[in-house]
């Protein structure tokens, strides 16, 4: 198994590292990093996070737990552009470890010694447990997963909590004592509450895990587990409702984000059924590709045993519980399905595991040596891509910001022409790089003005002089007087 475990690690590195080491970042990730940095520096509070002084000085577009967790990394490491990237990479590694632990936990339930179909020799747990790398490989093969990781999106943090909740729920229904089942159920409920405090209702789907796992042979005490899990979530919600500050903050989030999204009045109104296309093209297609490789290696499809089928369907149902309810909202994006990919990956892994075992046994030492060579090629490509100057997003804008850096009035509020106010990346980059807030409502009221290509004649002031290179797309103007 060692070459294939190394292959999984190499693919994970290739999927995220080259994009993480470059300075460009998706606008949402820049926004979240800025809020986390501000919290670390004492700007805003847990229940009242702050973005910029002019744009969302009170940020209630999402619950605050994800920002607060990332702020701990800024407190530890300081204000550097790599902090949010290290955080995202750590969250991805933790999710991968939780997927592997869930695989070993579900395989560890096989104590009846039943033969793995189509194989000879090791039986049951002994044959399947070492394949923990297989669901991890399936998970990272989904493009939107790596995109969310490198983009510093909240779904990466949500996936940590929802996967942990799934693992705890599995341990709960497998527990041999009621006390252990209740304990694991409480842990699962706590993880669900944390997921909801990171991205709202999308983090609640592991509450369906005990019901899904009830179909797995050998499950026990499903009702007490549900009571412990759901009761913990309810207690957390009740406790938050008693305090004025969290009640007001979460109430505003539900009003401006959740209810508005359900009504179709938020951005990205892509239609209620986009989630099906995202699942088929973005999740199932990569699974099918890797499954086809296993099928080609085995020479035939090896049907999973009845128990594997039941377990695979249980995780498939849990994944559906995490993705299909998105259909109720017309506001949809591909990364919304990221938290539900781990159960889908485990389901696909369970249903294809016998075929994969057949392929591995047919491979022999020669193929394993070839896999080791592929690992070296992938790692070399990763290093080359990480060092390539032409790789990465926002290269032109990052270059403009670099030219501005020696002249930027850190921490100031500067004017911006209204025509450029809709450039959310501009706001995000100036806050993240320079802690500068852009004011398009009163562009003439500040001693500094940012000149962009979108400026109109009526916005430009004749008394302002360039303080940064005027040949760039972004120019800082120093104005001797303010209106």
**Which portions of the chain are predicted below pLDDT 50?**
110-124
Distance CA 158, CA 339 (A): 6
Instruction: Please report the pLDDT score of residue 270 as a whole number.
Output: 59
Asked if 383 and 323 count as a contact pair (C-beta separation under 8 A), the reply is: no
Half-sphere exposure of 380 (CA within 13 A, CB side): 6
Distance CA 212, CA 225 (A): 12
Instruction: Please report the pLDDT score of residue 392 as a whole number.
Output: 64
Sheet with 465-466, strands from edge to edge, namely: 437-439, 413-416, 448-451, 475-478, 465-466
Other beta carbons within 10 Å of 338: 30
Q: What is the DSSP string of 77-128?
A: H-S-TTHHHHHHHHHHHHHHHHHHHHHHHHHTT--S-PPPTT--SS-THHHH
What does DSSP assign to residue 284?
Answer: I
Half-sphere exposure of 369 (CA within 13 A, CB side): 3
Is the full-model pTM beyond 0.85? yes
Instruction: Please report the pLDDT score of residue 121 as a whole number.
Output: 38
Asked if 308 and 354 count as a contact pair (C-beta separation under 8 A), the reply is: yes
Distance CA 230, CA 278 (A): 29
């Amino acid at each position: 198994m060692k070459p294939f475990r190394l292959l999984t690690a190499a693919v994970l590195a290739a999927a995220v590292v080259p994009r993480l080491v470059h300075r460009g970042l998706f606008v949402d990730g820049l926004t979240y990093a800025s809020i986390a940095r501000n919290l670390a520096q004492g700007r805003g509070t847990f229940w009242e996070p702050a973005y910029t002084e002019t744009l969302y000085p009170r940020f209630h577009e999402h619950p605050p737990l994800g920002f607060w967790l990332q702020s701990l990394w800024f407190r530890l490491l300081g204000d550097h552009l790599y902090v949010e990237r290290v955080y995202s990479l750590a969250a991805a590694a933790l999710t991968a470890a939780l997927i592997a632990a869930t695989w070993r936990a579900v395989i560890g339930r096989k104590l009846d010694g039943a033969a793995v179909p189509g194989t000879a020799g090791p039986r049951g747990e002994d044959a399947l447990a070492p394949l923990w790398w297989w669901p991890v490989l399936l998970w990272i093969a989904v493009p939107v997963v790596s995109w969310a990781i490198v983009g510093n999106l909240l779904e990466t943090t949500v996936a940590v909590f929802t996967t942990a909740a799934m693992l705890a729920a599995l341990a709960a229904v497998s527990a041999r004592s009621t006390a252990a089942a209740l304990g694991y159920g409480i842990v699962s409920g706590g993880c669900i509450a944390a997921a909801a405090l990171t991205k709202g209702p999308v983090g609640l789907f592991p509450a369906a895990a005990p019901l899904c796992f009830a179909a797995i042979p050998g499950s026990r005490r499903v009702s007490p587990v549900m009571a412990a899990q759901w009761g913990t979530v309810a207690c957390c919600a009740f406790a938050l409702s008693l305090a004025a500050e969290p009640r007001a903050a979460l109430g505003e989030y539900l009003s401006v984000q959740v209810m508005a999204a359900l009504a179709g009045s938020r951005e990205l109104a892509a239609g209620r059924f986009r989630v099906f296309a995202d699942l088929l093209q973005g999740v199932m297609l990569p699974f099918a590709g890797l499954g086809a490789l296993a099928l080609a290696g085995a020479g035939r499809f090896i049907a999973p045993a009845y128990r594997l089928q039941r377990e695979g369907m249980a995780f498939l149902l849990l994944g559906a519980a995490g993705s299909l309810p998105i259909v109720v909202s017309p506001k949809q994006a591909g990364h919304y399905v990221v938290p539900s990919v781990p159960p889908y990956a485990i389901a696909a892994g369970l249903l294809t595991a016998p075929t994969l075992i057949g392929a591995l046994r047919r491979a022999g030492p020669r193929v394993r040596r070839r896999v080791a060579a592929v690992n070296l090629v992938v790692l070399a490509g990763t290093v080359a891509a990480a060092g390539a100057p032409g790789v990465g997003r926002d290269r032109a804008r990052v270059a403009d910001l670099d030219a501005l850096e020696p002249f930027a009035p850190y921490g100031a509020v500067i004017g911006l022409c209204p025509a450029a106010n809709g450039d959310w990346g501009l706001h995000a980059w100036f806050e993240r790089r320079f802690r500068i807030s852009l004011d398009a409502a009163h562009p003439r009221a500040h001693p500094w003005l940012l000149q962009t290509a979108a400026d109109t004649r009526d916005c430009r002031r004749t008394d302002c002089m360039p303080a940064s290179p005027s040949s760039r797309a972004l120019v800082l103007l120093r104005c001797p007087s303010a209106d």
